[in-house]
Each structure stands twice: as structure tokens, then as C-alpha cells.
Amino acid sequence: MSAPRPYLLAETTWKSVRDGGFAVAVLPWGATEAHNFHLPYGTDCIEVAYLATESARLAWEHGTRVVVLPTIPFGVNTGQLDIPLCLNMNPSTQAALFRDLIESVERAGIRRLVLLNGHGGNDFRAMIRELVPQSSVLLCTVNWYTLSDPQRHFDDPGDHAGELETSAMLAIAPELVLPLSEAGPGKARRFRVSGLRNGTAWTPRRWSQLTDDTGVGDPRPATADKGARYLAAVVRELADFLVEVAQADPDQLYE
């Protein structure tokens, strides 16, 4: 059995935590939802927990005391309510939970909290705008899938359970990925309204009308090697950010 990792709260004891000294807390937030026919429902949680853990490890090795909180496994899935066991958490519920967790972090004397988001249906920016005036904690949110340009690693990354996510899961947890011969093609239908189609307007997608297999993007070109290279790039970017934000004065953020 491996030794407890001091940067993971779930593996850390009160003997270590009571002395405090953590510079930044990381809150991974995922979702539980269908990912085509070949990836598990917990894909978003597995990916975001892995990236939080690995980036915290690198930051810790550089002398930055980071603590990763347990992953929140429920995301906004209002567009998938008719897909069995896509577990929805409404944004208002997320905001209430987030507020309570911020208070716990603040009481521990931690002045910086990075919410690491792993699900496209989650959007925490409006919540943070509302919560910032109520807390002395510096609140940041990061979508991990924006940290490294996927076009450098994949022919067609896809939107959901496509080449990018499938490659990532093949690198992180290949035992949970079914043979790609069993995956659906991930073909998605387009909006009829041009403004919604070209992105000048937005509305949530109704998933069961969008795609027949719950995937968006062809997973078949995915490989573990592609996933490993991409994840390594994301981990480096995220670790660098954690080190930098840990060194920043939350009250003096501007040059």
C-alpha cells in the first residue's frame, strides 16, 4: 500500500491538518453522466480528480502547500434529464454547496481556493461574482480542458466522449474503457437556427435530440499515448498556476 499523499485531504490526518499552513485549496468538480457506449458515467470525475492530484503533486514538489478537497461528483445535467441516471444538480444547489465549502476553507485560514471544473455543463463564474463580496478567500475557477490546445494533440478532439476524453481515459483508467469497437460514432446533429449554430446565441442542448449515443465526437482515433501527452501538458499548466496563485497576495493582485 502506498503512503498517504499529504496534498490530498481525503488521505491526510488531523495530525497533519491541525498545523495548517496550506496556501491554496483545490476543489475538483465533475459530473455523473453517460459518455457514449464505451466510457463510464464517472468519466468527468475521474479526469478532474486525476488532474487535481497530479498538479498538486508537482506544486508540492516545488514547495507549495496545496490541499485537494474531495471531488464533487454531481454537475448541471438539465439537458440530460431523460437519460437514466444522469445525476443533475441545479446551479442554485451548486451555489449553496459552494458557499458552505468556501466557509470551511476560510475557517481553516486558507486564503485561496481554485475550483477545478471538469464538466462543460458547469459554469461557476456568476456564482463567484456573487460570493466574492462575502468572503476574504480569493476564488478562481479553471476549466481544465482549456489549459492546453487540444488541436496540438488530436485530429478531432470532440465535445463529449470523443477523441480527447477517450484518450484521457485510456491513459488514466484503461480498465474502465470498453473496446472502441463498441463505441458509437458520436455524430451530433446541428441546430436549425443559424445564430445557435454559429455561436452568436446560446441555449442548452437537449442531449437525446442531439446525439443517438450520448457522444459528441468520434472516439475511434483515440489512443492512450495521445491522452498521456495531453494530460501531461495540462498538469504542467495547472501546477504552474497553483504555484503562482499560492504566492500571490489576494489583496494585491494588480501591478
What is the bridge-based pairing of β-strands 138-143 and 24-29?
A: unpaired
The region that residue 199 occupies, defined by phi over 0 for left and psi between -120 and 50 for alpha, beta otherwise, is left
Query: For position 110, what pLDDT does the model report?
Result: 96
What residues does 160 pair with on adjacent strands?
216
Query: For position 254, what pLDDT does the model report?
Result: 95
For all residues of the chain together, what is the average pLDDT? 96
Kindly state the percentage of the chain with pLDDT values over 70: 100
- pLDDT tens digit sequence for 9-26: 999 999 889 887 899 999
Query: For position 112, what pLDDT does the model report?
Result: 98
| pLDDT greater than 90 at residue 3 | no
Question: What average pLDDT does this structure show over 192-205?
Answer: 96
| pLDDT greater than 80 at residue 1 | no
How far is the CA of 220 from the CAs of 119, 154, 180, 210, in angstroms? 21, 12, 6, 19
Query: For position 81, what pLDDT does the model report?
Result: 95
- pLDDT tens digit sequence for 65-103: 999 999 999 999 999 999 999 999 999 999 999 999 999
Q: Are the C-beta atoms of residues 117 and 48 closer than 8 Å to each other?
A: yes
For 3, counting Cβ atoms within 10 Å of its Cβ (0-12 exposed, 13-18 middle, 19+ buried), the class is exposed
Cα–Cα distance, 24 to 227 (Å, whole number): 27
Question: Amino acid letter at 9?
Answer: L
Query: For position 2, what pLDDT does the model report?
Result: 81
| pTM of the predicted protein model | 0.96
Q: How far is CA 140 from the centre of its chain?
A: 13
First-to-last alpha carbon distance for the chain, in angstroms, is 47
Query: For position 16, what pLDDT does the model report?
Result: 86
Query: For position 19, what pLDDT does the model report?
Result: 82
CA angle 73, 242, 19 (to 5 degrees): 85
User: In the structure, what pLDDT confidence band is assigned to residue 201 with cuts at 50, 70 and 90?
Assistant: very high
What domains lie within the chain, and their CATH numbers?
9-247 (3.40.50.10310)
- pLDDT tens digit sequence for 129-169: 999 999 999 999 999 999 999 999 999 999 999 999 999 99
Query: For position 219, what pLDDT does the model report?
Result: 98
Query: For position 224, what pLDDT does the model report?
Result: 98
Question: What average pLDDT does this structure show over 234-238?
Answer: 98
| pLDDT greater than 90 at residue 122 | yes
User: In the structure, what pLDDT confidence band is assigned to residue 43 with cuts at 50, 70 and 90?
Assistant: very high
